[in-house]
Copies of this chain bind each other. A is one copy, B any other.
Protein backbone atom coordinates (compact mmCIF):
# COMPACT_ATOMS: atom_id res chain seq x y z
CA UNK A 1 0.00 0.00 0.00
CA UNK A 2 1.26 3.48 -0.94
CA UNK A 3 0.57 6.06 1.77
CA UNK A 4 0.97 9.08 -0.48
CA UNK A 5 1.30 9.26 -4.24
CA UNK A 6 2.47 12.45 -5.93
CA UNK A 7 1.42 12.08 -9.54
CA UNK A 8 3.21 13.34 -12.63
CA UNK A 9 5.64 15.72 -10.95
CA UNK A 10 8.60 17.21 -12.82
CA UNK A 11 11.48 16.49 -10.50
CA UNK A 12 14.54 18.66 -9.91
CA UNK A 13 16.95 16.71 -7.76
CA UNK A 14 20.74 16.36 -7.40
CA UNK A 15 22.75 13.75 -9.29
CA UNK A 16 26.44 13.68 -8.41
CA UNK A 17 27.65 17.27 -8.84
CA UNK A 18 24.69 18.56 -10.82
CA UNK A 19 20.94 18.79 -10.63
CA UNK A 20 18.78 16.75 -12.93
CA UNK A 21 15.30 17.54 -14.29
CA UNK A 22 12.98 14.61 -15.02
CA UNK A 23 9.52 15.00 -16.52
CA UNK A 24 6.27 13.43 -15.31
CA UNK A 25 7.34 11.16 -12.48
CA UNK A 26 5.21 9.52 -9.81
CA UNK A 27 6.70 9.80 -6.33
CA UNK A 28 5.58 6.95 -4.06
CA UNK A 29 5.74 7.46 -0.32
CA UNK A 30 5.41 4.70 2.26
CA UNK A 31 5.57 5.74 5.89
CA UNK A 32 8.17 8.46 6.18
CA UNK A 33 10.23 7.42 3.16
CA UNK A 34 10.12 7.62 -0.61
CA UNK A 35 9.65 4.02 -1.74
CA UNK A 36 9.93 4.59 -5.47
CA UNK A 37 10.11 7.17 -8.23
CA UNK A 38 8.55 5.94 -11.47
CA UNK A 39 7.52 7.39 -14.83
CA UNK A 40 3.91 8.43 -14.34
CA UNK A 41 1.31 5.78 -15.09
CA UNK A 42 3.31 2.88 -13.64
CA UNK A 43 1.87 3.32 -10.14
CA UNK A 44 -1.79 2.54 -9.52
CA UNK A 45 -3.58 5.44 -7.79
CA UNK A 46 -6.16 2.96 -6.47
CA UNK A 47 -3.35 1.44 -4.40
CA UNK A 48 -2.65 4.75 -2.64
CA UNK A 49 -4.27 6.06 0.53
CA UNK A 50 -3.77 9.65 -0.64
CA UNK A 51 -3.06 11.03 -4.10
CA UNK A 52 -1.86 14.56 -4.93
CA UNK A 53 -1.89 15.66 -8.55
CA UNK A 54 1.51 17.27 -9.14
CA UNK A 55 1.04 17.64 -12.90
CA UNK A 56 2.79 20.74 -14.23
CA UNK A 57 4.47 21.33 -10.89
CA UNK A 58 8.18 21.09 -10.06
CA UNK A 59 9.07 18.75 -7.19
CA UNK A 60 12.15 19.63 -5.16
CA UNK A 61 13.57 17.96 -2.08
CA UNK A 62 12.29 19.83 1.00
CA UNK A 63 14.48 22.89 1.49
CA UNK A 64 17.05 22.90 4.30
CA UNK A 65 17.77 25.98 6.39
CA UNK A 66 21.21 25.29 7.83
CA UNK A 67 21.29 28.12 10.38
CA UNK A 68 18.48 29.96 12.10
CA UNK A 69 17.18 31.40 15.35
CA UNK A 70 13.60 30.81 14.36
CA UNK A 71 11.86 32.65 17.19
CA UNK A 72 13.60 35.89 16.18
CA UNK A 73 10.66 36.67 13.94
CA UNK A 74 9.49 38.31 17.19
CA UNK A 75 12.03 41.06 16.44
CA UNK A 76 11.45 41.36 12.69
CA UNK A 77 11.77 45.01 11.69
CA UNK A 78 13.15 46.12 15.06
CA UNK A 79 16.87 46.28 14.24
CA UNK A 80 17.33 47.10 10.55
CA UNK A 81 20.01 49.32 9.01
CA UNK A 82 22.40 49.04 11.99
CA UNK A 83 25.96 47.70 12.28
CA UNK A 84 26.73 44.27 13.78
CA UNK A 85 27.90 45.64 17.15
CA UNK A 86 24.94 48.00 17.57
CA UNK A 87 22.63 45.20 16.35
CA UNK A 88 23.78 43.01 19.25
CA UNK A 89 24.44 45.51 22.01
CA UNK A 90 21.70 48.09 21.48
CA UNK A 91 18.93 45.93 20.09
CA UNK A 92 18.97 42.15 20.03
CA UNK A 93 20.65 41.25 23.31
CA UNK A 94 18.57 43.77 25.28
CA UNK A 95 15.39 42.45 23.58
CA UNK A 96 16.36 38.84 24.26
CA UNK A 97 16.60 39.51 27.98
CA UNK A 98 12.79 39.95 27.84
CA UNK A 99 12.14 36.49 26.37
CA UNK A 100 10.13 33.88 28.24
CA UNK A 101 9.88 30.22 27.20
CA UNK A 102 6.33 30.85 25.94
CA UNK A 103 7.54 33.77 23.78
CA UNK A 104 10.06 31.44 22.15
CA UNK A 105 7.36 28.82 21.59
CA UNK A 106 5.03 31.23 19.78
CA UNK A 107 7.85 32.94 17.89
CA UNK A 108 9.14 29.58 16.70
CA UNK A 109 5.67 28.58 15.52
CA UNK A 110 5.37 31.78 13.47
CA UNK A 111 8.85 31.26 12.01
CA UNK A 112 8.05 27.64 11.15
CA UNK A 113 4.81 28.77 9.48
CA UNK A 114 6.91 31.10 7.33
CA UNK A 115 9.36 28.32 6.51
CA UNK A 116 6.61 25.89 5.53
CA UNK A 117 5.05 28.56 3.30
CA UNK A 118 8.50 28.92 1.70
CA UNK A 119 9.09 25.17 1.28
CA UNK A 120 11.59 24.75 4.12
CA UNK A 121 11.14 21.39 5.83
CA UNK A 122 14.32 21.24 7.93
CA UNK A 123 15.93 23.88 10.12
CA UNK A 124 19.13 23.88 12.14
CA UNK A 125 17.90 26.04 15.00
CA UNK A 126 20.23 27.58 17.58
CA UNK A 127 18.47 29.44 20.37
CA UNK A 128 17.22 29.47 23.97
CA UNK A 129 14.42 27.64 25.76
CA UNK A 130 14.84 24.79 23.34
CA UNK A 131 12.19 22.61 24.99
CA UNK A 132 9.72 25.10 23.56
CA UNK A 133 11.41 25.01 20.16
CA UNK A 134 11.21 21.20 20.15
CA UNK A 135 7.49 21.39 21.09
CA UNK A 136 6.93 23.80 18.19
CA UNK A 137 8.81 21.57 15.72
CA UNK A 138 6.82 18.56 16.90
CA UNK A 139 3.58 20.45 16.33
CA UNK A 140 4.53 21.99 12.97
CA UNK A 141 5.58 18.64 11.54
CA UNK A 142 8.93 19.82 10.21
CA UNK A 143 12.41 18.52 10.95
CA UNK A 144 14.87 20.19 13.31
CA UNK A 145 18.54 19.91 14.16
CA UNK A 146 18.31 21.76 17.46
CA UNK A 147 21.04 23.26 19.61
CA UNK A 148 20.65 25.17 22.88
CA UNK A 149 22.84 28.31 22.83
CA UNK A 150 25.26 28.51 25.77
CA UNK A 151 27.81 31.16 26.75
CA UNK A 152 30.57 31.23 29.31
CA UNK A 153 31.35 34.97 29.25
CA UNK A 154 29.64 36.56 32.23
CA UNK A 155 28.00 33.28 33.28
CA UNK A 156 28.87 32.24 36.88
CA UNK A 157 28.59 28.47 36.35
CA UNK A 158 28.57 27.77 32.61
CA UNK A 159 29.13 24.02 33.13
CA UNK A 160 25.86 23.86 35.05
CA UNK A 161 24.05 25.39 32.07
CA UNK A 162 25.87 22.97 29.76
CA UNK A 163 24.71 20.03 31.85
CA UNK A 164 21.14 21.31 31.66
CA UNK A 165 21.37 21.39 27.87
CA UNK A 166 22.75 17.85 27.98
CA UNK A 167 19.63 16.76 29.85
CA UNK A 168 17.56 18.54 27.22
CA UNK A 169 19.53 16.73 24.48
CA UNK A 170 18.67 13.36 26.00
CA UNK A 171 15.04 14.38 26.58
CA UNK A 172 14.40 15.19 22.90
CA UNK A 173 16.97 13.18 20.86
CA UNK A 174 15.14 11.31 18.10
CA UNK A 175 11.70 12.45 19.22
CA UNK A 176 8.73 13.57 17.09
CA UNK A 177 8.94 10.41 14.97
CA UNK A 178 12.64 10.97 14.49
CA UNK A 179 12.19 14.51 13.20
CA UNK A 180 14.13 16.05 16.08
CA UNK A 181 17.91 15.73 16.43
CA UNK A 182 19.66 17.51 19.29
CA UNK A 183 23.20 18.87 19.33
CA UNK A 184 25.27 21.13 21.56
CA UNK A 185 25.22 24.88 20.80
CA UNK A 186 28.12 26.89 22.26
CA UNK A 187 27.43 30.41 20.98
CA UNK A 188 30.76 31.56 19.53
CA UNK A 189 34.50 31.71 20.28
CA UNK A 190 34.11 35.32 21.44
CA UNK A 191 31.40 34.48 24.01
CA UNK A 192 32.85 31.13 25.14
CA UNK A 193 36.30 30.79 26.70
CA UNK A 194 38.73 28.23 25.29
CA UNK A 195 38.44 26.30 28.54
CA UNK A 196 34.66 26.18 28.23
CA UNK A 197 34.91 25.16 24.56
CA UNK A 198 37.17 22.29 25.67
CA UNK A 199 34.49 21.20 28.13
CA UNK A 200 31.81 21.44 25.44
CA UNK A 201 33.90 19.36 23.04
CA UNK A 202 34.50 16.66 25.64
CA UNK A 203 30.76 16.64 26.44
CA UNK A 204 29.88 16.30 22.75
CA UNK A 205 32.21 13.33 22.33
CA UNK A 206 30.81 11.64 25.43
CA UNK A 207 27.22 12.25 24.36
CA UNK A 208 28.01 11.37 20.74
CA UNK A 209 26.36 14.54 19.42
CA UNK A 210 27.47 17.30 17.09
CA UNK A 211 28.22 20.97 17.72
CA UNK A 212 26.55 23.95 16.05
CA UNK A 213 28.49 27.19 16.62
CA UNK A 214 28.90 30.70 15.17
CA UNK A 215 32.39 31.53 13.90
CA UNK A 216 34.21 34.24 11.91
CA UNK A 217 31.09 36.13 10.95
CA UNK A 218 33.09 39.36 10.57
CA UNK A 219 36.69 40.15 9.73
CA UNK A 220 36.87 42.07 13.02
CA UNK A 221 36.13 38.85 14.93
CA UNK A 222 39.03 37.17 13.17
CA UNK A 223 41.38 40.04 13.97
CA UNK A 224 40.29 40.19 17.62
CA UNK A 225 40.96 36.46 17.94
CA UNK A 226 44.40 36.81 16.38
CA UNK A 227 45.19 39.59 18.85
CA UNK A 228 43.78 37.87 21.94
CA UNK A 229 44.60 34.23 21.17
CA UNK A 230 47.25 34.37 18.47
CA UNK A 231 44.98 32.18 16.36
CA UNK A 232 41.96 32.56 14.11
CA UNK A 233 38.58 31.63 15.63
CA UNK A 234 38.53 28.47 13.49
CA UNK A 235 42.03 27.44 14.67
CA UNK A 236 40.86 28.05 18.22
CA UNK A 237 37.88 25.74 17.68
CA UNK A 238 40.25 23.08 16.36
CA UNK A 239 42.54 23.44 19.38
CA UNK A 240 39.53 23.16 21.69
CA UNK A 241 38.62 19.84 20.10
CA UNK A 242 35.36 21.06 18.59
CA UNK A 243 36.02 19.36 15.24
CA UNK A 244 36.38 15.95 16.84
CA UNK A 245 32.59 15.82 16.75
CA UNK A 246 30.38 16.58 13.74
CA UNK A 247 30.40 20.36 13.43
CA UNK A 248 28.10 22.89 11.81
CA UNK A 249 29.74 26.31 11.50
CA UNK A 250 27.44 29.27 11.14
CA UNK A 251 28.99 31.79 8.70
CA UNK A 252 32.78 31.10 8.67
CA UNK A 253 32.62 34.02 6.25
CA UNK A 254 36.23 35.16 6.62
CA UNK A 255 38.42 32.04 6.61
CA UNK A 256 42.18 32.10 6.07
CA UNK A 257 43.74 29.48 3.77
CA UNK A 258 44.69 27.51 6.91
CA UNK A 259 41.11 27.78 8.19
CA UNK A 260 39.87 26.31 4.92
CA UNK A 261 42.17 23.32 5.33
CA UNK A 262 41.00 22.86 8.92
CA UNK A 263 37.38 22.79 7.74
CA UNK A 264 38.15 20.36 4.92
CA UNK A 265 39.98 17.99 7.25
CA UNK A 266 37.20 18.20 9.85
CA UNK A 267 34.49 17.66 7.21
CA UNK A 268 32.79 20.60 8.88
CA UNK A 269 29.53 21.91 7.44
CA UNK A 270 29.19 25.64 6.82
CA UNK A 271 25.91 27.60 6.86
CA UNK A 272 26.07 30.43 4.32
CA UNK A 273 23.48 33.20 4.99
CA UNK A 274 24.12 35.93 2.41
CA UNK A 275 21.19 38.27 3.06
CA UNK A 276 22.29 38.67 6.66
CA UNK A 277 25.84 39.50 5.57
CA UNK A 278 24.58 42.10 3.12
CA UNK A 279 22.15 43.68 5.59
CA UNK A 280 24.76 43.87 8.34
CA UNK A 281 27.49 44.83 5.84
CA UNK A 282 29.71 42.15 7.38
CA UNK A 283 31.23 40.77 4.18
CA UNK A 284 30.38 37.73 2.04
CA UNK A 285 32.40 34.51 2.01
CA UNK A 286 34.31 33.53 -1.11
CA UNK A 287 32.02 30.55 -1.61
CA UNK A 288 33.65 29.49 -4.88
CA UNK A 289 37.11 29.18 -3.35
CA UNK A 290 35.98 27.52 -0.13
CA UNK A 291 33.71 25.11 -1.98
CA UNK A 292 36.37 24.24 -4.55
CA UNK A 293 38.74 23.46 -1.70
CA UNK A 294 36.29 20.79 -0.58
CA UNK A 295 34.40 22.43 2.27
CA UNK A 296 30.75 21.46 2.39
CA UNK A 297 28.50 24.55 2.32
CA UNK A 298 24.74 24.69 2.77
CA UNK A 299 22.35 27.63 2.68
CA UNK A 300 20.89 29.27 5.80
CA UNK A 301 18.92 32.35 6.68
CA UNK A 302 20.12 33.25 10.18
CA UNK A 303 17.42 34.88 12.35
CA UNK A 304 14.70 37.18 11.01
CA UNK A 305 16.04 40.13 12.99
CA UNK A 306 18.98 40.22 10.58
CA UNK A 307 17.70 38.40 7.49
CA UNK A 308 14.07 39.64 7.62
CA UNK A 309 12.81 36.36 6.14
CA UNK A 310 13.22 32.58 6.08
CA UNK A 311 13.32 32.06 2.34
CA UNK A 312 15.95 29.55 1.20
CA UNK A 313 15.17 30.14 -2.48
CA UNK A 314 15.94 33.85 -1.99
CA UNK A 315 19.15 33.00 -0.07
CA UNK A 316 20.38 30.62 -2.75
CA UNK A 317 19.69 33.20 -5.44
CA UNK A 318 21.65 35.79 -3.43
CA UNK A 319 24.49 33.32 -2.95
CA UNK A 320 24.77 32.84 -6.73
CA UNK A 321 24.43 36.55 -7.51
CA UNK A 322 27.03 37.59 -4.93
CA UNK A 323 29.66 35.14 -6.14
CA UNK A 324 29.29 36.44 -9.71
CA UNK A 325 29.59 39.99 -8.40
CA UNK A 326 32.59 39.34 -6.15
CA UNK A 327 34.50 37.36 -8.75
CA UNK A 328 33.52 39.77 -11.57
CA UNK A 329 32.62 36.60 -13.42
CA UNK A 330 29.08 35.82 -14.55
CA UNK A 331 29.97 32.12 -14.63
CA UNK A 332 30.84 31.96 -10.92
CA UNK A 333 28.57 29.63 -8.90
CA UNK A 334 26.37 28.68 -11.87
CA UNK A 335 22.85 27.30 -11.60
CA UNK A 336 23.87 23.68 -11.09
CA UNK A 337 26.35 24.48 -8.34
CA UNK A 338 24.01 26.83 -6.51
CA UNK A 339 21.09 24.39 -6.51
CA UNK A 340 23.37 21.49 -5.62
CA UNK A 341 24.63 23.49 -2.63
CA UNK A 342 21.04 24.25 -1.59
CA UNK A 343 20.06 20.55 -1.73
CA UNK A 344 23.02 18.23 -1.15
CA UNK A 345 25.10 20.86 0.62
CA UNK A 346 22.39 21.41 3.20
CA UNK A 347 21.87 17.69 3.83
CA UNK A 348 25.59 17.08 4.26
CA UNK A 349 26.08 20.12 6.50
CA UNK A 350 23.46 18.72 8.87
CA UNK A 351 24.85 15.14 8.59
CA UNK A 352 21.48 14.00 7.29
CA UNK A 353 22.33 12.06 4.12
CA UNK A 354 18.74 10.88 3.74
CA UNK A 355 17.63 14.43 2.95
CA UNK A 356 18.29 16.72 0.00
CA UNK A 357 17.20 14.47 -2.87
CA UNK A 358 14.10 12.84 -4.29
CA UNK A 359 14.96 9.17 -4.72
CA UNK A 360 13.87 5.78 -3.44
CA UNK A 361 15.03 5.27 0.14
CA UNK A 362 15.32 8.95 1.00
CA UNK A 363 13.19 10.53 3.71
CA UNK A 364 9.89 11.78 2.28
CA UNK A 365 10.55 15.54 2.41
CA UNK A 366 9.24 16.90 -0.89
CA UNK A 367 7.87 20.25 -1.99
CA UNK A 368 5.87 21.14 -5.10
CA UNK A 369 6.32 24.48 -6.86
CA UNK A 370 3.52 25.81 -9.04
CA UNK A 371 4.59 27.05 -12.44
CA UNK A 372 1.53 29.13 -13.21
CA UNK A 373 2.76 32.49 -11.94
CA UNK A 374 3.85 34.54 -14.94
CA UNK A 375 7.36 34.85 -13.47
CA UNK A 376 7.83 31.07 -13.89
CA UNK A 377 6.95 31.14 -17.62
CA UNK A 378 8.09 30.13 -20.10
CA UNK A 379 9.70 27.13 -18.47
CA UNK A 380 12.54 26.70 -20.96
CA UNK A 381 15.19 25.96 -18.34
CA UNK A 382 13.42 24.85 -15.14
CA UNK A 383 16.58 24.91 -13.01
CA UNK A 384 17.21 28.52 -14.08
CA UNK A 385 13.65 29.50 -13.24
CA UNK A 386 13.88 27.85 -9.82
CA UNK A 387 17.15 29.61 -8.98
CA UNK A 388 16.60 33.02 -10.54
CA UNK A 389 12.82 33.53 -10.68
CA UNK A 390 10.91 31.34 -8.21
CA UNK A 391 9.57 32.82 -4.98
CA UNK A 392 8.08 31.47 -1.79
CA UNK A 393 4.66 32.29 -3.26
CA UNK A 394 5.22 29.56 -5.86
CA UNK A 395 5.32 26.86 -3.17
CA UNK A 396 2.03 24.97 -3.38
CA UNK A 397 2.58 21.77 -1.38
CA UNK A 398 4.99 20.77 1.38
CA UNK A 399 5.53 17.22 2.60
CA UNK A 400 7.81 16.35 5.50
CA UNK A 401 8.47 12.86 6.84
CA UNK A 402 5.62 11.64 4.63
CA UNK A 403 3.01 14.05 6.06
CA UNK A 404 1.44 16.91 4.14
CA UNK A 405 2.08 20.23 5.94
CA UNK A 406 0.96 22.65 3.22
CA UNK A 407 -1.53 22.02 0.45
CA UNK A 408 -2.70 24.55 -2.14
CA UNK A 409 -0.72 27.08 -0.09
CA UNK A 410 -2.76 26.38 3.06
CA UNK A 411 -1.04 25.36 6.29
CA UNK A 412 -2.47 22.09 7.59
CA UNK A 413 -0.64 21.70 10.91
CA UNK A 414 -0.56 25.28 12.20
CA UNK A 415 -3.31 27.83 12.94
CA UNK A 416 -1.58 30.90 11.56
CA UNK A 417 -4.19 33.42 12.70
CA UNK A 418 -4.00 32.20 16.28
CA UNK A 419 -0.20 32.27 16.20
CA UNK A 420 -0.13 35.84 14.86
CA UNK A 421 -2.59 36.94 17.56
CA UNK A 422 -0.43 35.36 20.29
CA UNK A 423 2.73 36.93 18.88
CA UNK A 424 1.10 40.36 18.65
CA UNK A 425 0.03 40.22 22.29
CA UNK A 426 3.69 39.84 23.30
CA UNK A 427 5.30 42.53 21.16
CA UNK A 428 4.97 45.52 23.45
CA UNK A 429 6.73 43.80 26.33
CA UNK A 430 9.38 42.23 24.09
CA UNK A 431 10.35 45.49 22.39
CA UNK A 432 11.31 47.25 25.64
CA UNK A 433 15.00 47.98 26.12
CA UNK A 434 15.72 48.17 29.84
CA UNK A 435 18.87 50.27 30.47
CA UNK A 436 21.88 48.09 31.16
CA UNK A 437 19.94 44.86 30.70
CA UNK A 438 21.15 42.50 28.00
CA UNK A 439 22.00 38.81 27.79
CA UNK A 440 25.57 39.37 26.56
CA UNK A 441 27.97 42.08 25.39
CA UNK A 442 29.41 42.10 21.89
CA UNK A 443 33.10 43.07 22.08
CA UNK A 444 34.07 46.09 19.96
Residue of B nearest to A336 (CB): B81
Q: When the two chains form their complex, are residues B416 and A308 in contact, meaning their CB atoms are under 8 A apart?
A: no
Tell me, yes or no, whether A332 is within 8 Å of chain B by CB. yes
Q: When the two chains form their complex, are residues B275 and A321 in contact, meaning their CB atoms are under 8 A apart?
A: yes
Question: A324 contacts which chain B residues (CB < 8 A)?
Answer: 81, 278-281
Tell me, yes or no, whether A431 is within 8 Å of chain B by CB. yes
Question: A385 contacts which chain B residues (CB < 8 A)?
Answer: 76-77, 308
Contact with B along A248-290 (1 / 0, CB 8 A): 0000000000000000000000000001011111011000000
Cα–Cα distance between A315 and B393 once the two chains are bound (Å): 17
Q: How many copies does the complex hold?
A: 2
Contact with B along A316-338 (1 / 0, CB 8 A): 00100110110111111011000
Tell me, yes or no, whether A374 is within 8 Å of chain B by CB. yes
Q: How far is the CB of A107 from chain B (nearest CB, A)?
A: 9
Known A77-B381, A117-B373; judge A391-B388 contact (CB<8 A): no
Question: A325 contacts which chain B residues (CB < 8 A)?
Answer: 277-278, 281, 283-284
Q: When the two chains form their complex, are residues B278 and A416 in contact, meaning their CB atoms are under 8 A apart?
A: no
Cα–Cα distance between A117 and B373 once the two chains are bound (Å): 8
Q: When the two chains form their complex, are residues B84 and A377 in contact, meaning their CB atoms are under 8 A apart?
A: no
Tell me, yes or no, whether A118 is within 8 Å of chain B by CB. yes
| 13 extra interface residue pairs, beta carbon distance < 8 Å, beyond A81-B335, A84-B330, A373-B392 | A73-B378, A76-B384, A80-B384, A80-B388, A82-B330, A278-B322, A281-B330, A372-B416, A374-B420, A375-B392, A377-B423, A393-B393, A393-B394
Q: What are 9 inter-chain pairs, A to B, with CB distance below 8 A?
A: A76-B380, A76-B385, A78-B381, A81-B334, A111-B374, A308-B385, A311-B391, A377-B420, A378-B420
Residue from the list B113, B281, B328 in contact with A374, Cβ < 8 A? B113
Q: When the two chains form their complex, are residues B117 and A78 in contact, meaning their CB atoms are under 8 A apart?
A: no
Cα–Cα distance between A79 and B289 once the two chains are bound (Å): 24
Tell me, yes or no, whether A427 is within 8 Å of chain B by CB. yes
Q: How far is the CB of A146 from chain B (nearest CB, A)?
A: 20
| 6 closest A-B pairs by CB | A393-B393, A77-B381, A308-B388, A114-B374, A77-B384, A278-B321
Tell me, yes or no, whether A42 is within 8 Å of chain B by CB. no
Residue from the list B114, B322, B377 in contact with A73, Cβ < 8 A? B377
Interface residue ranges, A against B (CB under 8 Å): 73-74, 76-78, 80-84, 87, 110-111, 113-114, 117-118, 275, 277-281, 283-284, 308-311, 318, 321-322, 324-325, 327-332, 334-335, 372-375, 377-382, 384-385, 388-389, 391-394, 416, 420, 423-424, 427, 431
Question: A335 contacts which chain B residues (CB < 8 A)?
Answer: 80-81
Cα–Cα distance between A281 and B325 once the two chains are bound (Å): 5
Question: A83 contacts which chain B residues (CB < 8 A)?
Answer: 329-331
Question: A389 contacts which chain B residues (CB < 8 A)?
Answer: 76, 308-309
Q: When the two chains form their complex, are residues B424 and A375 in contact, meaning their CB atoms are under 8 A apart?
A: no
Cα–Cα distance between A429 and B85 once the two chains are bound (Å): 56
Q: How far is the CB of A330 from chain B (nearest CB, A)?
A: 4
Cα–Cα distance between A243 and B101 once the two chains are bound (Å): 62
Residue of B nearest to A78 (CB): B380
Cα–Cα distance between A181 and B318 once the two chains are bound (Å): 35
Question: A392 contacts which chain B residues (CB < 8 A)?
Answer: 373, 375, 391, 393
Q: When the two chains form their complex, are residues B110 and A377 in contact, meaning their CB atoms are under 8 A apart?
A: yes
Question: A393 contacts which chain B residues (CB < 8 A)?
Answer: 373, 391-394
Q: When the two chains form their complex, are residues A77 and B380 in contact, meaning their CB atoms are under 8 A apart?
A: yes
Cα–Cα distance between A110 and B379 once the two chains are bound (Å): 13
Question: A380 contacts which chain B residues (CB < 8 A)?
Answer: 76-78, 427, 431
